[in-house]
Amino acid sequence: MENSISPPRILQPGSKAWKRRDLKRRLKKYWGLYVIFLPIAASFIIFSYVPMNGIIMSFQHYTPARGITGSEFVGLKNFKDFVTSFFFGRVVRNTFILNLYGNISSFLAPLILALLLNEVRGRVYKRTVQTVSYIPYFVSVVVVAGIVMILVRPNGVINQIAGLFGAKGTINFLTDPKYWRSILIITGIWTATGYQSIVYLATISTMGTEMYEAAMIDEASRWKQCLRLTLPGLYHVMTIFLIFNISGLLNSGLGMNLLLYNPANYETSDVIATYMYRVGLLGKNWSLGSAVNLMNSAVSMILLAGANAVAKRVGEYSLW
């Protein structure tokens, strides 16, 4: 009887066996990268996913003595209390306006800086400008807030400069609500523009020089090269940034707001994050604070999914 040799098994792409073999191959080939990624994954699990068990507090009248398992279940009461509260309209309006202005500036300022730096030919000058623009991002938010206070106080630098140009009297910028948004947005531009421009500059550096050389042969000006070559090459990066900016329209940060705001400027400075801090931590109403945070996160997810869907339909780039 002749021994028959069975033909090798051919795996169909997309099948479970094919995916398992592909996973094993990737793990074996890129094991070093996965080892480096393990601490990042662990930090996400510990600090982002494990605390999600506390979401149940949003639907309870939470008391530390009874804990999460023993606190009274109240359903949607905390959400109704926030929506019907006196501060709901103010904090939502302030959060939306601050983030809208801030997102527009944070989207345009890094792009403009990157385009300008790309046109600089002097390497020493270019690196100096890059370094100076990056430094504020690495300064502690507490230090930045202290610098802002020194600049805008009644006897600060800004009032002194205004006095040199004939301005009468002094302005306490931090107690006047109409100046709050300008202070916060300008501070955000100063601290984040240089760092965010790194992504644009890195993308520009990957663009080939052949198209620019061809454009120069056709006597295209630097302005036309920027409009026709550089900006289209940054389209995918700009789309990703725009999606993230839209998803964060109701997700303002706590740090700078908390350090600079005060009851005198609550009219324009009180946002959802500071409201959660006052109600949830200072007021010890943990359930209401958790409900506000959950509602804010849900709206941010809806905005993220909507912006991604629009970007996918309009253009060819999206997050997923």
Give tens-digit pLDDT for 93-106.
999 999 999 889 98
The whole-number average pLDDT for the span 4-23 is: 68
Least-confidence region, from 11-25, 66-80, 154-168, 235-249: 11-25
- Tell me: do 22 and 164 sit in the same domain: no
300 and 154 inside one domain = yes
Residues 104 and 65 occupy one common structural domain: no
Instruction: Say what the pLDDT of residue 41 is.
Output: 92
Residue 9: per-residue pLDDT = 62
Quick check: is 86 in a domain?
no
For residue 197, the enclosing domain spans 92-314
With a pLDDT cut of 90, the percent of the chain lying above it is 31
Mean pLDDT of 12-24: 76
Q: What pTM value is reported for the model?
A: 0.81
Q: Is residue 145 part of a domain?
A: yes
The per-residue pLDDT for 39 is 93
Average pLDDT over residues 271-289: 90
- Phi and psi torsions of 73, nearest 5°: -85, 125
Give the mean model confidence (pLDDT) for residues 77-91. Answer: 93
| Distance (Å) of CA 320 to CA 8, 37, 93, 178, 241 | 36, 21, 30, 40, 14
- Look at residue 77 and tell me if it is in a domain: no
At 155-179, the pLDDT tens digits run: 888 888 888 888 778 888 888 888 9
* Phi and psi at residue 107, to the nearest 5°: -85, -40
Beta partners for 60?
Answer: 73
Q: Are residues 124 and 222 in the same domain?
A: yes
Does residue 85 sit within a domain?
A: no
305 located within any domain: yes
Q: Which residues contact 100 (CB under 8 A, 6 or more apart)?
A: 249
Do residues 107 and 58 share a domain? no
Answer yes or no: are the C-beta atoms of 111 and 238 closer than 8 Å: yes
320 located within any domain: no
Distance CA 229, CA 223 (A): 10
- Residue 11 pLDDT > 80: no
Same domain? For 117 and 264 the reply is yes
- 243: amino acid identity, one letter: I
Section 175-191 average pLDDT? 90
The pLDDT score that the predictor gives to residue 312 is 86
Higher pLDDT, 22 or 42: 42
The Cα–Cα gap between 233 and 154 comes to 47
Q: What is the DSSP letter of 138?
A: G
3-state helix, strand, coil in the chain (%, to 5): 75, 0, 25
Q: What pLDDT score was predicted for residue 256?
A: 87
24 and 153 housed in the same domain: no
316 pLDDT band, cuts 50/70/90, is confident
Q: In terms of domains, do 33 and 158 share one? A: no
Shared domain for 220 and 129, answered yes or no, is: yes
* Domain shared by 62 and 189, yes or no: no
**Mean pLDDT value of segment 131-158:** 90
| Residues 65 and 98 placed together within one structural domain of the fold | no
Give the residue-averaged pLDDT of 6-31: 75
pLDDT of residue 314: 83
pLDDT attached to residue 1: 47
pLDDT value, residue 208? 76
- CATH number, domain of 171, equals 1.10.3720.10
- Average pLDDT of the chain is 87
What is the number of domains present in the chain?
2
Does 10 fall in a domain? Answer: no
Buried b (16+ CB within 10 A) or exposed e, 218-255: eebeeeebeeebbeebbeebbbebebbbbbbbbbbbee
**Whole-number pLDDT of residue 211:** 81
What is the pLDDT, as a whole number, of residue 48? 85
Specify whether 118 is located in the same domain as 23. no
User: Is there a domain that residue 87 lies in?
Assistant: no
